[in-house]
Amino acid sequence: MKLKLFAILLLLASFAGAAPQSQFPDTPAAHQFAAWLEAFNSGDRARILDFLQKNEPDRAGEIDGELGFRRMTGGFEFKKAEESTATHFTGIVKERESDTFGRFVIDVEAAEPHHIKNFDLQQIPIPAEFALPRVSQEAALAALRGELEKQVAADRFAGAVLVAKEGKPIFKEAYGLADREKKTPNQLDTQFRIGSMNKMFTAVSVLQLAQAGKIKLTDPLGKYLTDYPNRDLAAKVTIHHLLTHTGGTGDFFGPEFDKHRLELRTLQDYVKLYGQRGVAFEPGSKWEYSNYGFLLLGVLIEKVSGQSYYDYVAEHVYKPAAMTLTASVAEDQVVLGRSVGYTHMPPSPAAAGTAPEAWRPNTDTLPYRGTSAGGGYSTVEDLLRFANALENHKLLDAEHTELLTTGKVDTGGGGKYAYGFGDRSVGGMHCFGHGGGAPGMNGGLEICPQAGYVVAVLSNLDPPAASRVSEFVLNRLPEK
């Protein structure tokens, strides 16, 4: 069974149990879905494992992942049936603890006991028939405050939240603990790891080089990285492909990363490990999120600018935007004010024996240093400064800012991907930005130019701690 909510991931209002069986069609496929929903919503390990062993035995070994998904979503409320045959059933569900909707597809075998052959769950935009009413700015912020208090009380959020209107904060608060052992509270200037949000800074840097005439986005990577190990990839994959995740360059997370995590200290170290690898599909033929593609963009920046990636973004992005608390210092260096990340996700072998139900530091999952693909840290106030600098053309001219943030490729989740930015409509409100998520970290920046809002949320807990908060307020703020 494949369970995917895009973006990881992410995002999440109240439902006490499974939907009554009478709500479902009287078919084997619908019965299986109803049974899965009841078991999943119980949150009981034994019940979920029993369901998998009886109905999808190949997945029984993935019980920890199933429980993690249950913890992330809080379970689902069945909202609507769509297609229905004896062996095929699709419909709409909503996360119990958020505004997030998903579409499920389940296929079962025709013969009893109707084992599950395929189960897929994808996040979708809120369907029009379930649209949330927008309210006044005052009411939306009051609702946000109430939601945050609820999430903090349930230990589902710790971090900082900032909402700005026309460039100025109208809501900014910090919640929970930056360090649970030392009882250090989160503050507005607490630095949180931001995961893939660094891709925005990388993309801005690449567009700056394009604006200066130092590169062309249509050029193949090999024009600049003339010694790249895989010649076929270098010849086929363009800078545009890398910026839009359409190059087929794949990820670098996985067993090899886990094995060499602390040895990967420079961008070139990643190229040495993964540079012989070819493309996974014909460049430009489809969209597939690629951390390695953005790692290569960092290598490109170094080659063309003559600076390290870290020095380039510090000088050309952080400094002009007045971002004084954003960086990617190595994890073995002390950063005063940087929060500890806490995760429920399964521990590495080195941390075996840790109770998965307890929050634990994410130390054993972190790379040695953040890269052009992600892994740095920032504050919500610095993210607002970045948004303001971008909108006021302090980083790029108007033409290249538009090019940077306008969607180009359908991501399959109801939005489009631009260059290092997602471009989407949130209940009719146009926004662009990027999120980030990994064990013990979650964040997002949404810039909604027509409405005049910027929403920045950072958390030192697992996804979707921050994204559920961001979606909550974006779904309620007035469009103008």
Separation of first and last alpha carbons in the chain: 42
Domain count, the chain: 3
Do 59 and 124 reside in the same domain of the chain? yes
Final residue in a domain of this structure, among 257, 280, 314: 314
In a domain, 411, yes or no: yes
Give yes or no: residues 457 and 339 share one domain.
yes
Residue 386 inside a domain? The answer is: yes
- pLDDT score, position 200: 98
Give a yes or no: residue 323 inside a domain.
no
The last residue of one of the domains, among 107, 130, 153, is: 130
Whether 325 is in a domain gets the answer: no
- 178 and 168 in a common domain: yes
**Alpha-carbon dihedral sign for residues 145, 147, 152, 156:** negative
Residues 349 and 468 grouped into a single domain: yes
- Please report which helix (H) or strand (E) contains residue 141, including its range: helix 137-153
- Domain termination residue (choose one: 283, 314, 345): 314
Task: Report yes or no on 320 lying in a domain.
Answer: no
226 lies in the same domain as 165? no
Please report the pLDDT score of residue 109 as a whole number: 95
Pair 344, 466 in one domain: yes
Same-domain check for residues 261 and 372: no
323: left (phi > 0), else alpha (psi -120 to 50), else beta? beta
Residue 92 lies in a domain: yes
User: Do both 184 and 209 map to the same domain?
Assistant: no
Nearest to 297 by CA among 195, 204, 398, 400: 204
Q: Considering the domain boundaries, does residue 322 fall inside one?
A: no
Alpha carbons 462 and 447: distance in angstroms, whole number? 23
The token pair at 240 is: 């545009």
Q: How far apart are CA 124 and CA 389, in angstroms?
A: 31
- Residue 195 sits in a domain whose CATH number is 3.40.710.10
On whether both 468 and 337 belong to a single domain, the answer is: yes
Q: Which residues pair with 422 in a beta bridge?
A: 417, 433
pLDDT at residue 347, rounded to an integer: 53
Question: Mind listing the pLDDT tens digit of every residue in the chain (480 residues)?
Answer: 433 333 333 333 322 333 444 489 999 999 999 999 999 999 999 999 999 999 988 888 888 888 888 888 889 999 999 999 999 999 999 999 889 999 999 999 999 999 999 999 998 888 989 989 999 999 999 999 999 999 999 999 999 999 999 999 999 999 999 999 999 999 999 999 999 999 999 999 999 999 999 999 999 999 999 999 999 999 999 999 999 999 999 999 999 999 999 999 999 999 999 999 999 999 999 999 999 999 999 999 999 999 999 999 999 999 999 999 999 999 989 999 999 999 987 654 444 444 456 899 999 999 999 999 999 999 999 999 999 999 999 999 999 999 999 999 999 878 999 999 999 999 889 999 999 999 999 999 999 999 999 999 999 999 999 999 999 999 999 998
Q: b vs e for 407-431, b when ≥16 Cβ sit within 10 Å of the residue's Cβ?
A: bebebebbbbbbbbbbbbebbebeb
The verdict on 303 and 253 lying in the same domain is yes
Task: Quote the pLDDT of residue 353.
Answer: 43
Full-model pTM: 0.88
Tell whether 291 and 416 lie within a shared domain: no
Q: Mark whether 11 and 94 lie in a shared domain.
A: yes
What pLDDT, on the 0 to 100 scale, is given for residue 125?
A: 86
CA-closest candidate to residue 119, choices 19, 35, 41, 18: 35
- The pLDDT value recorded for residue 357 is 61
Report d(CA 191, CA 340) in Å as an integer: 9
Does residue 78 fall inside a structural domain? yes
Range of the domain at 40: 2-130
